[in-house]
């Protein structure tokens, strides 16, 4: 097993099935460590070092096609990458928000555009890109190289303002406590980036920014984007805006209720080969109703999230099992489970499909 490039020790517990050189992910993860800090908890303020599962997502999302060709007059954007977009399905409290915040910062100012293949001796030096932090990354011959965008237009998407905060709060903390603060201005509503760039929120109640050209979108909790709350259409409209700009996106979600035909479900069931899907499914041999087996499920789906206290997860799951076992199994067991939450009134399911039929008719 090869040593990991990041920690230079033993290989991580996962393996990517492509060459290390064919991704901007190692550079991206190093950039995150140098520019972003842990936003909360006991390690608040320490460098944000992606854990195994987080690194696996980064390496795949930034996987570069071997066939990508560098041409400074015609820079390849999304088509340089194996995946046009990614989906992360993971349980509650596993650390999706902080990783989404770190990747948003990376997209805002980091080397996320394919910049050719290294011949040897090349470096990524932050000073060449307006950041005085001193970060330097040395490429090995054959490595995919990265450059930042001149202007980054980024949107954080969620169903509500509170939900946007899942990513916006940690992002604010990361910017304010590190070198990014020198050239990004964080406000309550949006982050101002160099060269008229911007990170802003789009919610179901604030869709006025919908349709703006953007380079990157972060979709939070797509398992609750439905036709009724209009978020399915928001996500589709935004993906069209991304396509026009050669942009890419990531969606994050808990497992969904398959009765709702959410954006998360549509993505997961899509046959498109250019969507990277990260989803650690627990063994079907284990029953979530059995407390001992439930613990084994938690140990598996929260693996690599050392900040999670499995006793606390079990306590929350056990309580939720009393009133809404399906939701408990989705939230903490990381399984796609049928079952209507108490908030979904009878008949809404049928109404959703009726509305969708109308929406899909040509105008």
Q: Is 139 in the site for Zn ion (CB under 5 A)?
A: no
Q: Is 147 in the site for Zn ion (CB under 5 A)?
A: no
Question: Which residue, among 253, 306, 301, 278, has the nearest Cα to 46 in the 3D structure?
Answer: 306
- Residue 276 contacts residue 87 (beta carbons within 8 Å): yes
Cβ at position 239, least distance to Zn ion in Å: 30
Cβ at position 217, least distance to Zn ion in Å: 24
Cβ at position 26, least distance to Zn ion in Å: 16
Cβ at position 96, least distance to Zn ion in Å: 25
Please tell me the distance from the alpha carbon of residue 150 to that of residue 78, in angstroms, as a whole number: 16
Q: Is 184 in the site for Zn ion (CB under 5 A)?
A: no
Stretch that binds Zn ion, among 63-71, 119-127, 217-225, 298-306 (CB under 5 A): 119-127
Q: Which is nearer to Zn ion, 135 or 256 (CB)?
A: 135
Q: Is 126 in the site for Zn ion (CB under 5 A)?
A: yes
Q: Is 301 in the site for Zn ion (CB under 5 A)?
A: no
Query: Within 13 A of 124's CA, how many CA atoms are on the CB side?
Result: 29
Tokens of 75: 């820079």
Please tell me the distance from the alpha carbon of residue 313 to that of residue 340, in angstroms, as a whole number: 22
Stretch that binds Zn ion, among 129-137, 147-155, 210-218, 336-344 (CB under 5 A): 129-137
Q: Where are the beta strands (DSSP E) in 6-152?
A: 85-89, 113-117, 123-125, 136-138, 144-147
Which member of 4, 77, 133, 259 binds Zn ion (CB under 5 A)?
133
Q: Is 33 in the site for Zn ion (CB under 5 A)?
A: no
Left, alpha or beta for 144 (phi > 0: left; psi -120 to 50: alpha)?
beta
Count of chain residues binding Zn ion (CB under 5 A)? 4
Stretch that binds Zn ion, among 61-69, 126-134, 227-235, 240-248 (CB under 5 A): 126-134
Q: Which is nearer to Zn ion, 178 or 282 (CB)?
A: 178
- Residue 81 contacts residue 65 (beta carbons within 8 Å): yes
Cβ at position 24, least distance to Zn ion in Å: 16
* Composition of the chain by helix, strand, coil, percent to 5: 35, 15, 45
Cβ at position 137, least distance to Zn ion in Å: 10
Cβ at position 174, least distance to Zn ion in Å: 13
Q: Is 135 in the site for Zn ion (CB under 5 A)?
A: yes
Q: Which is nearer to Zn ion, 126 or 227 (CB)?
A: 126
Q: Which residues contact 35 (CB under 8 A, 6 or more apart)?
A: 105, 106, 109, 110, 131, 133, 135, 174, 178, 179, 180
Please tell me the distance from the alpha carbon of residue 253 to that of residue 282, in angstroms, as a whole number: 16
Q: Is 331 in the site for Zn ion (CB under 5 A)?
A: no
Residue 297: which H helix or E strand, with range? helix 291-301
Q: Is 355 in the site for Zn ion (CB under 5 A)?
A: no
Cα distances (Å, whole numbers) of residue 109 to 43, 102, 103, 153, 243: 24, 11, 10, 11, 20
Cβ at position 133, least distance to Zn ion in Å: 3
Q: Which is nearer to Zn ion, 132 or 306 (CB)?
A: 132
Which member of 29, 59, 89, 131 binds Zn ion (CB under 5 A)?
131
Q: Which is nearer to Zn ion, 135 or 276 (CB)?
A: 135
Q: Is 27 in the site for Zn ion (CB under 5 A)?
A: no
Question: Which residue, among 297, 210, 206, has the nearest Cα to 255 in the 3D structure?
Answer: 297
Please tell me the distance from the alpha carbon of residue 59 to that of residue 55, in angstroms, as a whole number: 6
Q: Which residues bind Zn ion (CB under 5 A)?
A: 126, 131, 133, 135
């Amino acid at each position: 097993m090869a040593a990991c490039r990041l920690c230079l020790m033993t290989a991580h517990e996962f393996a990517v099935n492509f060459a290390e050189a064919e991704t901007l992910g190692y550079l991206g993860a190093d950039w995150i460590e140098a520019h972003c800090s842990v936003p909360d908890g006991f390690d608040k303020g320490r460098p944000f070092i992606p854990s195994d599962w987080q690194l696996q997502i980064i390496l795949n999302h930034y996987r570069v096609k071997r066939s990508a060709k560098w041409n400074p007059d015609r820079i390849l954007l999304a088509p340089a990458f194996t995946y046009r977009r990614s989906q992360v399905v993971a349980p509650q409290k596993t650390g999706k928000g902080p990783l989404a915040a770190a990747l948003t910062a990376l997209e805002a100012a980091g080397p996320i555009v394919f910049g050719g293949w290294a011949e040897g001796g090349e470096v990524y030096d932050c000073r060449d890109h307006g950041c005085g932090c001193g970060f330097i990354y040395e490429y090995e011959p054959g490595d995919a190289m990265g450059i930042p965008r001149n202007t980054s237009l980024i949107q954080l998407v969620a169903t509500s303002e509170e939900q946007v905060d899942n990513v916006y709060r940690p992002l604010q903390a990361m910017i304010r406590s590190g070198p990014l603060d020198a050239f990004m201005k964080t406000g309550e509503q949006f982050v101002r980036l160099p060269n008229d760039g911007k990170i802003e929120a789009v919610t179901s109640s604030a869709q006025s920014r919908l349709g703006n050209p953007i380079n990157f979108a972060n979709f939070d909790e797509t398992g609750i984007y439905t036709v009724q709350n209009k978020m399915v259409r928001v996500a589709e409209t935004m993906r069209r805006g991304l396509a026009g700009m050669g942009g890419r996106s990531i969606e994050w979600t808990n497992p969904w209720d398959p009765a709702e035909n959410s954006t998360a479900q549509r993505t997961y069931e899509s046959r498109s080969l250019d969507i990277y899907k990260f989803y650690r499914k627990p063994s079907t041999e284990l029953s979530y109703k059995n407390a001992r087996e439930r613990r084994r499920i938690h140990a598996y789906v929260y693996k690599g999230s050392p900040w999670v206290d499995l006793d606390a997860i079990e306590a929350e799951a056990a309580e939720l099992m009393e009133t809404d076992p399906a939701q408990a199994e989705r939230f903490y067991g990381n399984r796609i489970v049928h079952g209507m939450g108490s908030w979904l009134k009878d008949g809404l399911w049928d109404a959703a499909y009726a509305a969708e039929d109308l929406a899909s008719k040509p105008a």
